[in-house]
Amino acid sequence: MKAIVYEKYGSPDVLQLRDVEKPAVADDSVLVRARAASANPHDWHFMRGKPLVMRAMFGWFRPKNDRLGADSAGEVEAVGKDVTRFRAGDAVFGEAVGAFAEYACVPERWLARKPAGLTFEQAAAVPMAGITALQSLRDGGKIQAGQKVLVNGASGGVGTFAVQIAKAFGAEVTGVCSTKNVEMVRSLGVDHVVDYTRGDFTRSAARYDLLLDMIGNRSLYACRRVLAPKAVYVSVGGRMSHLAAESLCGPFVSQDVKVLVAKRSSADLEFLAGLIEAGKVRPVIDRTYTLSEVPEAIRYLEGGHARGKIVITI
């Protein structure tokens, strides 16, 4: 089979399309014939080996695992002897290790059935970004109906899911994005849009019960100005080391400050599939690339201006 392989850290130029051995099926896993994948910031962090602390776990001088890609959608080709939820021919989506490949061996607990109304390309856009958005709002932010929620980075991969999921939970949602993305974010059903090229959301008179921050371009101190006394601030990405230092003030303020690390979950994939089938959430796709064009896809994603998700057709 063909797969994207990298043997050293660096720019997208280190990514190569090669013929590799097709994976065997583990007892608790499913062999998926991939039809699509999607790119995430997760991928270029692993590609570059940054932040450097990652290398303590994944290889100091070269990656221990030479495959890249985390989101996959496709058809089940074979199942392990302990698998009970899927059979050959099922259309599935979820997270995988080495998803930029024609086949992936995926633990059953990482997969769910593909929503019937989605293409494989649309389904591949959902897993990592959708789960991150859901867990940030529900588990990190403890979102409740009627709350005022601000999403900083509303036009990105996680942000486009977050504003829709927050609306599905019954929140009043404000999305922050650039001028070119205002209409797209409005089309996702938000109540208010802040164009950051024309105004600073941390200077507004509004007060929010939950602030979901994908960007980290404003200090925690500045963000606290627009938080209600018992509000929650959740950071997803951004300047993690800077936020960690600032969050030391947590014991001395009434707001709750959290840094979220999402976890793979088939139950959450099924929850997202339910929202999608109910018409409450839809994936937003900016561009599509072929498997051989993964280096170009990652280069574009690294630029930081993607609208929604970048999808790889396989």
Q: Nearest CA to 111 among 61, 153, 62, 72?
A: 72
Q: Nearest CA to 129 among 105, 164, 97, 167?
A: 164
Interior angle at CA 152, CA 149 and CA 154, nearest 5: 90
Average pLDDT rounded to a whole number, residues 205-234: 92
Q: Which residues have a Cβ under 8 Å from the Cβ of 254 and sit 6 or more positions away?
A: 229, 230
Q: What percent of the chain has pLDDT over 90?
A: 79
Q: Which pLDDT band, with edges at 50, 70 and 90, does 59 fall under? A: confident
Predicted TM-score (pTM) of the model is 0.93
Specify if 269 maps to a domain. Answer: no
Residues 136 and 252 in one domain: yes
Specify if 268 maps to a domain. Answer: no
Specify if 266 maps to a domain. Answer: no
Burial of 228 (0-12, 13-18, 19+ CB in 10 A): middle
Domain that holds residue 246: 129-259
Calpha distance 266→273 (Å, rounded): 10
Residues 69 and 104 in one domain: yes
Residues 155 and 209 in one domain: yes
Specify if 276 maps to a domain. Answer: no
CATH of the domain at 15: 3.90.180.10
* Element of type H or E holding 237: none
Residues 295 and 242 in one domain: no
Q: Nearest CA to 160 among 196, 133, 123?
A: 133
Q: Nearest CA to 47 among 105, 94, 107, 4?
A: 4
Specify if 289 maps to a domain. Answer: yes
Residues 93 and 160 in one domain: no
Residues 134 and 113 in one domain: no
CB 254 within 8 A of CB 227: no
- pLDDT tens-digit profile of 184-213? 999 999 999 999 999 999 999 999 999 999
Residues 15 and 55 in one domain: yes
Residues 254 and 226 in one domain: yes
